[in-house]
Amino acid sequence: MARADHLVGKRRMAREMAVQMLYQLDLGGAPLAEVLAAFDARDYLDSRRDEEGEGDAPRASGAEVEPALVQAREMTAAVAACRDEIDACIRGQTEHWRLERMPAVDRNILRLAAWELLHAPDVPPLVVVDEAVELAKRFGSEHSGRFVNGLLDGLMRAHSAAGGAGR
């Protein structure tokens, strides 16, 4: 059981780093390769160490962060590769919200989660939604968790009904 908890921790770290890279890609305008190369796992690890004791901040060593960084880079590149498809799916769930007007943090958390729902069949949809909500609570505003949850719930239901992401 401890091994499974350890793996979940690495996946969560990968998601956190991927959201940070997607945010940089979205707002910075730098090429994907530059964003992936410039992301420093040591900075991530230092920021997490500063937060230890604040809730469920994962305690990790550099050896644990490196595999998560590899996974984060893979996830970021995958989201970037199918961003138009992902954005179309998100737009299909929004009512009175243009994707471009959403807070950048929420938008990129949604992109990562939508990619997982659509293209990561090894991750249960409810886990994807739960992890996205936790990311939104950590990085977004006080309303981000509810917003992300509602939008992803609709996306999950829509694709489940169509025989897709809801698996």
Per-residue pLDDT at 165: 45
Per-residue pLDDT at 40: 86
Per-residue pLDDT at 61: 59
pTM: 0.84
Q: CA 132, CA 36: separation in Å to the nearest integer?
A: 21
Domain ranges of the chain: 1-76, 82-167
- CATH for 82-167 is 1.10.940.10
For the chain, 167 residues long, the average pLDDT of each consecutive 10-residue run is 50 94 93 93 72 53 82 97 96 86 96 96 94 96 95 88 52
Residue type, 71: Q
Per-residue pLDDT at 42: 76
